[in-house]
Structure 1
Amino acid sequence: MKRVVLTSSSGVGLIHANPVDMVAPLIFRFVSGPLPTSHHLDQYLEGRKYPRDPEVQWSDLVRRSSQTGLAHKNLGLVWFCNAYGVDLIELWFDSEPNSQLLLIWILDYLRSEPYAAERLKLRVVDFDLLGAGGARLRDHTVRGFDVTERDFEAARIAWEAYRAPTPELCFGLLGRDFPKLPFLKPAMEQLLAELPSPITGLGATETQLLDLIAKGHNRTRELFQPGGLLDTRVFDQWELGPLLEGLASGPVPAIAGLDPKLATLAPHDARGRNAAYRRSRLSLTEFGRAVLEGREDFRRYNPLRRWWGGTLLTNERLWRWDPKTRSLIAPT
């Protein structure tokens, strides 16, 4: 039986776990920045139109196969599966929010591809794929389900909700049941918790950053490292930097001590920015302490322009999330 696994970047180790012909990690990050257009996402999966196309494609992240060599290069995902006679396409996505977004996106795409849709198997991965060793991947029982039209429809509804220009439809997902997508609702609630609080104006991760700095953790390395002090499943270490800068560089900053050179460095200058982060020694300002204690609203004094799914958050369009009542609050 010829098997192909679609997964997140956390699941690349699956190639060593089971007799599988190919593991294709999907690399998009949907939890920060503007969402890619539907056209861009389709191009990623449908292969290069000409050999020197500079855009990254699904096949660029797939290693050479002992069975097919580099036959997948420059081909569309479904076209390759059909030509190679793939019998089973397995979806391995754990509960991490971005992985759940990848899952609903790829399900929505494959629903209109009959060859792939008929061969799909959804794996319910109830552990973190990132860092899971080969023994655990081989020995851990992972339930599998055939994908039905109802599952495709659930994914379509959820993906359209996340791409909508307001978070209202995503909030509505919390009242629905997704039997074969058990991690989708918890992921959506974690994402909603990153909307500004009605009291402090901060999302869940921003609040954690202030709290840790207040407790004396003043180095970005211990704040940013995977599996470290910061208990966030939404953002990766590369996405935490802009959040920290937003708290430290506004008209009334909540954080002091961030290297001022960051303001002059290009976003793509990873080496320079990492060095500046390492030089930083962070502390809370008096205003930052007032925000953390709920006595001030950070957004009252500082501008916001940040994407949440398809929603552009600004001070004029400030959707908020109340974690105590689990309620979405519309702009006033």
Structure 2
Amino acid sequence: MSRLILTFTDSGAGGLKAARLADCVVGVEQRFVCGKLPPSSELDALFSPRAASHRAGAHWLDNLTGRLLEDARRQGLGLIEFCELFDAVDLWVDPDPNSQLQLIWLLDYLRPHASVTSRLAMLQTDHIIGEQQPAELAAWQLRLAPVRGHHLEVAGAAWAAWGASTPEAWFNLLTRDPGALPQLRSSVVALLEELPSRGSGLGATEMRMLELLSAGHVHPYDLFPGHEKLSPRRTFSYWETGALLDGLAHCPVPAISGFDDGPFDLDMHEDPERHQRYKRSRLALTGLGRAIVAGAGDFSQYNPIHRWWGGTELTTERLWCWDAEGRTLVAP
């Protein structure tokens, strides 16, 4: 029986390829936790069939390697058509919020195609797939469970909620039984916590950075979350986290000072001297930063806010907030 594994991180795809559990492993990686969501038309075009002469970088098969994938690229197959080549299609899903968002998007995308959904099985893990040994991943394969109609229904409602113009529908998912997708609830909460907090005006990842700096962790990478780091939050990627840290320092009234280089972009990373200066920077809280950590300052009162949270455009004038103590939304 031919088997395809779809997963949502490059590290997870690498680990699953090493474990040799399927004829083909594909990492389908989109970033949905940060920035403006791509319109459905753009996603449809990315994963639809495409002529062999398509523009490079505009199709899901671009930059993927392997004999089956290269054959599919020559044929211009869409994701649906590629899945139909296999007898079984397994979804291996990490617990982090972006993987959960990719899961609900993919299930919603596949929902009209019974030729694919009838072949789907899913494994939702408590641990990061890319951090496991091949033998352990082989043992996990026994936990695969078929995808049923209720999985597709919950995923469709959740994806619509994430794309809504206010956070209310996403917040209301907390009252819905997520049993079909057990890791979804923790991601709903984690993403709500990244709304500006009532009181500080910062999301949970930003607030943790200030707390760590206040505790004496003064170098930029001390403040990054990740495996065996002082901040265990996994909501944002490496690049997204660097941009958040930049935002705390490069604004009208900064909360952090002391960067010797920046901004946190590809140009800085490709210059070894600049990157070293950045890493050696000794950061400090400003007066506003100290006030925020003490519970007496609000970042949004001094600095303009304009960013996207799912389908919600957050601005200074239209600022949805999260009340962590009451676990409630605060409308503008």
| Same-fold call, TM cutoff 0.5 | yes
**20, 24, 27: which one aligns with 2:26:** 24
Moved more, 239-248 or 252-261: 252-261
Shift of 1:223: 2.6
Shift of 1:97: 0.5
1:299–1:315 CA contact under 8 A, matched in 2: yes
Shift of 1:61: 4.9
Q: CA RMSD in A?
A: 2.0
1:124–1:142 CA contact under 8 A, matched in 2: no
Closer, same or farther: CA 270–27 of 1 in aligned 2, 3 Å: farther
Per the alignment, in what secondary structure is the counterpart of residue 169 of structure 1? helix
Q: Equivalent residues in 2 for 1:108-123 (5 A)? A: 108-123=108-123
String of CA shifts for 1:232-291, please: whole Å, max 9, x gaps: 1101111111111111122211101123653xx877664257456325321101221111
CA distance in structure 1 between the partners assigned to 2:59 and 2:230 by the alignment:
34
Closer, same or farther: CA 305–95 of 1 in aligned 2, 3 Å: same
Q: Equivalent residues in 2 for 1:198-213 (5 A)? A: 198-213=198-213
Residues 1:325 and 2:293 are matched in the alignment: no
2:3–2:89 CA contact under 8 A, matched in 1: yes
Shift of 1:124: 2.4
Per the alignment, in what secondary structure is the counterpart of residue 131 of structure 2? coil
CA distance in structure 2 between the partners assigned to 1:140 and 1:81 by the alignment:
22
Closer, same or farther: CA 230–274 of 1 in aligned 2, 3 Å: farther
Per the alignment, in what secondary structure is the counterpart of residue 92 of structure 2? strand
The AA in structure 1 aligned to 2:130 is L
2:21–2:138 CA contact under 8 A, matched in 1: no
Name 1:233's counterpart in structure 2.
234
CA distance in structure 1 between the partners assigned to 2:142 and 2:213 by the alignment:
39
The AA in structure 1 aligned to 2:126 is D
CA distance in structure 2 between the partners assigned to 1:229 and 1:206 by the alignment:
13
CA distance in structure 1 between the partners assigned to 2:124 and 2:61 by the alignment:
24
1:248–1:254 CA contact under 8 A, matched in 2: yes
Shift of 1:149: 2.0
1:25–1:58 CA contact under 8 A, matched in 2: no
CA distance in structure 2 between the partners assigned to 1:201 and 1:216 by the alignment:
22
Name 1:196's counterpart in structure 2.
196
Which runs of 5 or more residues in structure 1 are unaligned?
none
How many residue pairs get aligned? The number is: 325
Shift of 1:139: 2.4
The AA in structure 2 aligned to 1:199 is G
CA distance in structure 2 between the partners assigned to 1:139 and 1:229 by the alignment:
30
CA distance in structure 1 between the partners assigned to 2:300 and 2:106 by the alignment:
35
Name 2:249's counterpart in structure 1.
248
Shift of 1:312: 1.1
Residues 1:49 and 2:48 are matched in the alignment: no
Shift of 1:136: 1.5
CA distance in structure 1 between the partners assigned to 2:269 and 2:164 by the alignment:
31
CA distance in structure 2 between the partners assigned to 1:299 and 1:225 by the alignment:
23
Name 1:39's counterpart in structure 2.
41
Per the alignment, in what secondary structure is the counterpart of residue 175 of structure 2? coil
Name 2:299's counterpart in structure 1.
298
Closer, same or farther: CA 58–269 of 1 in aligned 2, 3 Å: farther
TM-score for both structures, normalised by structure 2 = 0.91
TM-score for both structures, normalised by structure 1 = 0.91
Shift of 1:32: 0.8
Residues 1:78 and 2:77 are matched in the alignment: no
Name 1:259's counterpart in structure 2.
260
The AA in structure 1 aligned to 2:149 is E
CA distance in structure 2 between the partners assigned to 1:269 and 1:113 by the alignment:
45
Shift of 1:57: 2.8
Which runs of 5 or more residues in structure 2 are unaligned?
none
CA distance in structure 2 between the partners assigned to 1:277 and 1:309 by the alignment:
30
Closer, same or farther: CA 47–218 of 1 in aligned 2, 3 Å: farther
Moved more, 134-143 or 23-32: 134-143
CA distance in structure 1 between the partners assigned to 2:69 and 2:38 by the alignment:
30
Residues 1:271 and 2:260 are matched in the alignment: no
CA distance in structure 1 between the partners assigned to 2:268 and 2:49 by the alignment:
29
1:193–1:321 CA contact under 8 A, matched in 2: yes
CA distance in structure 2 between the partners assigned to 1:165 and 1:276 by the alignment:
41
